[in-house]
């Protein structure tokens, strides 16, 4: 008698860790049509990831518009674009972002992005 085992597929959201950055950079580079020599401010500050079966399939990030405004964006791996991940990731990310940057210190967001980009670009050289 043959036994069929079904693996439960799980989707979860959590804050970004340093260990996630390599995968996030790879996802970022997948979405760009040209290969740059390094990351720019457009990379933003990643802060939340979507995991499907313990694999990062998307992330959210913030980019400053000016010292008082920002954009929240998401990127989902093209393999998973048909899954309802984007809306949930954005909702979770908005709540997380508001808690972490609740005092309106958006100028610090720009500084954080600059420092992260510099660190990531220098670590690959």
Place of tokens 């990127």: 75
Write down the H helix ranges in 32-105: 86-100
Q: Name the more confident of 107 and 62.
A: 62
d(CA 42, CA 36): 12
Query: Can you give the pLDDT at residue 3?
Result: 53
- Split at pLDDT 50, 70, 90, the class of 2 is low
Most confident listed range (6-10, 42-46, 101-105, 107-111): 42-46
DSSP 99: H
Is pTM beyond 0.85 here? no
CATH ID of 11-123, from 3.30.230.10, 3.40.630.30, 3.30.300.30, 3.30.70.270 = 3.40.630.30
């Amino acid at each position: 008698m043959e036994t069929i085992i079904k693996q439960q597929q799980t989707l979860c959201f959590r804050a970004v860790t340093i260990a996630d950055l390599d995968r996030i950079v790879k996802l970022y580079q997948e979405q760009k049509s040209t290969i740059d020599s390094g990351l720019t401010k457009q990379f933003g500050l990643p802060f939340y990831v979507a995991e499907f079966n313990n694999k990062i399939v998307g992330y959210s990030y913030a980019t400053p518009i000016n010292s008082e405004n920002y954009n929240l964006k998401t990127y989902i791996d093209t393999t998973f674009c048909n899954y309802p991940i984007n809306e949930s990731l954005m909702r979770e990310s908005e709540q997380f972002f508001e808690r972490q940057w609740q005092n309106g210190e958006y100028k610090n967001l720009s500084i954080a992005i600059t420092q992260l980009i510099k660190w990531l670009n220098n670590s690959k050289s």
